[in-house]
A and B are shown apart, each in its own frame.
Chain A
Amino acid sequence: MLKKLSTTILLTLLLIGTNLAQRPLNKFIDNHKNQDKAVCMTLPGWLLRSGFNFAENFAEEQDEKAFLDLGQYFKKLRFLVIDEKAHVSDYAIQTLLNDLPDHGMEKFVSFREEGNNVNVWVREKDDIVKNLSILIRGEDNLIVVNLNTDMPLDALKEANFSFNSKRKESTNHH
């Protein structure tokens, strides 16, 4: 009885902990999804995996197949697109960016050019990417993407991505 109770408490705390780690971005999406000109979607893992598996049947290049194969690790995707970014205050965006590190997210890469800002954040644990978040601020729109995954870095390694602009010859493993 005691064992069951302690297991339940532990699981509950774990769930709460996971939720807390993702709160800023999900909270941001929840706060703005009902605004004018806002489109918000939440795609469960099974749907993502089905879509990627289906698309893999039509992929011709090995690189494409390797990329689509990564879909098996996706758990949930949420995105929010708002046209007319003026509906979202700079303060709200800055608060989000300030809160992310407190919830286990690490800044991955950011760039800004000609009025477009892109910020990519990642949460990784034991060489497994748990969360990837992208915030894109254009002149007239805002896009927020939050992807939960269980993607091991080894999977990316096997996908054999090339960061070289002179792309290596595609390998054919059929």
Chain B
Amino acid sequence: MKQFLILFLSFVLTSTAFSQGAIEKYFSEYEDDEKFSVVYVSPKMFKMVAKVLSEQENQDLKDVVENLDGLRILKVDDAEGKFYKEAKGKINTKEYELLMTARDEGQKIEFLTKESGDIIQELLLMVGGDEFVLMSFMGDIDLEKIARLAKSLNIDGVEHLGKLDKKE
């Protein structure tokens, strides 16, 4: 019985590790690569920011921030499109659904989501062009609020999220 339990737990743990997905691995692979600009915002920061924001502050911002579990951004010069193609090839289409694409001044922008039931657990943004940008928001995500929020934040790459508004 004990051995069975150990085997079962090992199986569950291993499955969890594999289900972390190729995009997670992509981030892990390149976050130590000096060519890439990397931003990581922890769940801790979002929770603290949500507590610090006053009710007078943009309510959308507070709502979005409260429910975020993390933000990761990778950015690199990619005139040949090599990193963009590589990242696209790694997306598991069973996990991620294409939400929207846009083309803007030579850049190709794609929004993908990972859902669990009716909840969007991850919003992935990929931008290809002279620069490759891969951005991942994790948490309980409201797309409409993120689009409104993106227009007011001053982080390089986040402005593309404002296009989510145009989807409607």
Residue ranges of A at the interface with B (Cβ–Cβ < 8 Å): 106-115, 122, 124, 127, 153, 156-157, 160-166, 168
Contacts and interface: CB of A to CB of B under 8 A. Distances in A.
Contacts of A108: 42, 44-45, 48
Given A113-B38, A164-B153, 16 more contacts: A107-B40, A108-B42, A108-B44, A109-B40, A110-B38, A111-B40, A112-B34, A122-B44, A122-B48, A124-B44, A153-B51, A157-B51, A157-B52, A160-B54, A160-B56, A162-B57
Nearest to A117: B38
B56 A165 contact: no
Among A114, A162, A163, A166, find the residue whose CB has the most chain B CB atoms closer than 10 A: A163
27 contacts: A106-B42, A106-B44, A107-B40, A107-B42, A107-B44, A108-B48, A109-B40, A109-B41, A110-B39, A111-B37, A111-B40, A112-B34, A112-B36, A112-B37, A113-B38, A122-B44, A124-B44, A153-B48, A153-B52, A157-B52, A157-B53, A157-B54, A162-B57, A163-B53, A164-B58, A165-B154, A166-B152
Contacts of B52: 153, 156-157, 161
Interface in B111-168: 152-154
Interface residues of B, number: 23
B100 interface: no
A115 B61 contact: no
A111 B153 contact: no
Interface string B18-51: 0000000000000000101111111011001101
A168 B53 CA distance: 13
B77 to A, nearest CB: 11
Contacts of A115: 34
A155 to B, nearest CB: 9
Contacts of B152: 164-166
3 nearest CB pairs, A to B: A165-B154, A113-B37, A111-B39
B38 A112 contact: yes
A115 B35 CA distance: 9
Nearest to A122: B44
A128 to B, nearest CB: 11
Contacts of A114: 37
Contacts of B58: 164
Nearest to A107: B42
A109 to B, nearest CB: 5
Contacts of B44: 106-108, 122, 124
A104 to B, nearest CB: 12
Nearest to B44: A106
Given A114-B37, A164-B58, A165-B153, A109 B53 contact: no
A111 B45 CA distance: 14
A161 B58 CA distance: 12
Nearest to A155: B52
Contact of A163 (B36, B40, B49): B49
A161 B44 CA distance: 18
Contacts of A166: 152
